[in-house]
A and B are shown apart, each in its own frame.
Chain A
């Protein structure tokens, strides 16, 4: 992607600085977008390697490779790194690259803040990963870090974990402010809110969600810090505190967080389906309203993660009904995508393959989500592999497939080179098979009774765990191919036209490929 820098002549601004200082000091949205994307890819590989440790241990019953305490560290770091290190920064990277170009702005509104929000991240994750080498090991209480396991009973490294979460939160909040200010103030003349590309809309909503809930997460970890070091008892029952309070606070952050990781995917997929169907997106305004409804509903469903904590009947009923309601706007989006493809003129380039499988597999994840919302049935599903299968279906072939689709779709714009279509398709099919072989059987072993976060299991789950592990290694290995394809494209390949795709619309396709270092120094006119 670094070949963006090379020469272009129609621009009177200076080009990028040379060498390392370019990346340390850059305030250019394209450079920062690139940094975010590479950072996220590195985290994806690290978090993925941890998933491989988990799956290798679960290949057979019995303890073979790691000890239970290290296994717990792996599952905790895997979750934290994938959520905060891989998926979220990837979307921020895409926002950096695309939002200014899509709204016809020269850059993000707050470029120095932008630099700071990226450069906080390596420190946050450096601290988190360094806890692996500390006495007592890394955090081992799951990415949901329920108190008091994460307070009174936590390893000493929990303090570093808290610090690292604070830094990640600060980075996210700054990034979100930047996105909101850019979208609200820097749109090209004529681009009304209801004319904005859906990816921009999805990020506008996501950014508000982030600003609303990241402080809540910061509050939760601060209360933990007080309990651990300053003698308070927020979550300590022996001191009059309430361990369930922690879960309410965590999930008040955690549920909107789930949508933070899927809304930008909705935006991406809408663009890709429309482009490769060569047909205008069906129901643009209902897409916007659906995203808004999902975002608002996300604030009133948090306790569906806590159906077994012993809430009163009225609360269980309320959270069940509110959760079921989310199926309505989500359904509208899926129907709109299908209607866009209907009577289109479809071709199957790699981004489209990822987008189509996003629609199918995300919908399957949605169905299992609907099943989980049914409280009596959730008493059986809760904290089993059924839940693991559910959220991996919405996160891997959901969020992560959408990110891969976005990379294939926009990389010609970023680098000026076409990726290798044959290899892209191969990467898609390997990933598609890998993801389903990994996660589909987990529905069954969950229903049959295997709890999640178990380093070892009863013998009746052996066959499908073995299949799942095989799938996981296939999926993991395919991502090395992805890395190779991206590097190859950065280094060269067939030159891309400005439009790149026959059916592509939007301002980002009106500039050259690769996009010049500075675009839209004078705003374009939008009709």
Chain B
């Protein structure tokens, strides 16, 4: 059924496009102009519903507008100098109240059915917590204790037109969400700061991520592949720069990936034990800074005051190591600065603090003290 709809829709869109006399090169790419069918039963139901309502609207429009345009051509003052005087008809008015009502019922029935299907919050075989942050996503695999952040990986130079843009411009991340094919996956969606919204068009999932609330959504992807989506609730400056990328893989591949992620965590723990030199920490910290901090504090450390303060020349960053660590670990209440305690490993935390205390002349003008991973481990120990 939906296949037929799809073909029809292509020709309808084609006709509309022809009328609008736009450059012919875009005429070849129909699918780019309609909703995606997606790769789940729900997304196909939604697509079918969309096309159904669209055609009903087109049909009603065709009838109403043809009567109207007929009147506009036929009953001009020239052709019909003496207007009729009728101005009401109870029969007609009852008819055009009841008929639309019946059409609406015909729309409401399938819509309500599909909606009920979507609203099913039974547990998944895999349950993943999705957390929105300004401006990235965190994915926590609840059964496997895996946890990572997903950041935009498009180069700033592409955004500022200094280098050509790649194929997946603004739709690519450093680490995508990975889920197995043909498996019921449930998402528990929330946010850490402001409201975000997690959208994957190919699954027909769009759920707001709201601080203090946990919304659920589920999917069962039927095809492997990479599916790209966006944040769809205005969440501040980089709202347009926090894409969602989901990679659906075969079940075996998924299991291998889970094992690899667990090994990675062990290796990271070992890194914490290692003795770090200032140069090593600063170098690692620069990378962490670019990924996590530049959006607000900027590459030059000047920030965007007053909401995002400057780090270059900051008294805390130059002279108060203790407070410096505390801010990164706890965030700042009532301000945009969030806690990075769960986002960064001990090594990365120490590295990024060290980097900011070294960069932009902060070391020369300040006390030049730096932070090592064991300081963070120490901080994390419960205080009595």
Contact = CB atoms under 8 A, between A and B. Distances in A.
Contacts of B97: 328, 331-332
B277 interface: no
B240 A334 contact: no
B149 interface: no
B19 to A, nearest CB: 10
A33 to B, nearest CB: 30
A293 B43 CA distance: 35
Interface in A34-88: 61-64, 68-69, 72
Interface stretch (A17-25, A116-124, A344-352): A344-352
Interface string A138-161: 001110001011001101100000
Interface residues of A, number: 99
Contact of A463 (B26, B81, B115, B240): B26
Nearest to A384: B232
A520 interface: no
B77 A345 contact: yes
Contact of B159 (A62, A310, A375, A448): A62
Interface string A333-354: 0110011111111111000000
A286 B88 CA distance: 9
A324 B211 contact: no
B103 to A, nearest CB: 9
B195 interface: yes
B304 interface: yes
A344 B115 contact: no
Given A320-B111, A343-B83, A459-B169, A313 B116 contact: yes
Given A328-B97, A343-B83, A456-B159, A379 B34 contact: no
In this complex, the interface size class of chain B, counting residues with CB under 8 Å from chain A, is 35 or more
Given A148-B211, A328-B101, A456-B159, A440 B197 contact: no
B179 interface: no
A248 B226 CA distance: 36
Given A279-B85, A376-B115, A448-B32, A332 B232 contact: no
Nearest to A314: B119
A334 B232 CA distance: 33
Interface in A238-289: 238, 241-244, 277-286
A320 B46 CA distance: 15
Nearest to A60: B161
B84 A286 contact: no
A325 interface: yes
Contacts, number: 292
A454 interface: yes
Interface stretch (B57-65, B247-255, B258-266, B321-329): B57-65
B7 interface: no
Nearest to A448: B32
A451 B232 contact: yes
Interface string B13-37: 1000000101101100000111110
Interface string B100-142: 1100100110011011101100000000000000100000000
A356 interface: yes
A459 B171 CA distance: 10
Interface stretch (B68-76, B357-365, B369-377): B68-76
Contact of A146 (B32, B118, B233, B334): B233
Given A371-B54, A453-B239, 20 more contacts: A72-B236, A148-B194, A149-B236, A156-B306, A243-B195, A244-B210, A277-B75, A279-B83, A308-B232, A310-B210, A321-B108, A340-B87, A346-B72, A363-B64, A376-B46, A383-B206, A449-B201, A454-B230, A460-B32, A463-B23
13 contacts: A68-B238, A155-B306, A284-B87, A335-B64, A343-B75, A345-B80, A346-B77, A364-B61, A380-B35, A440-B20, A444-B34, A463-B25, A464-B33
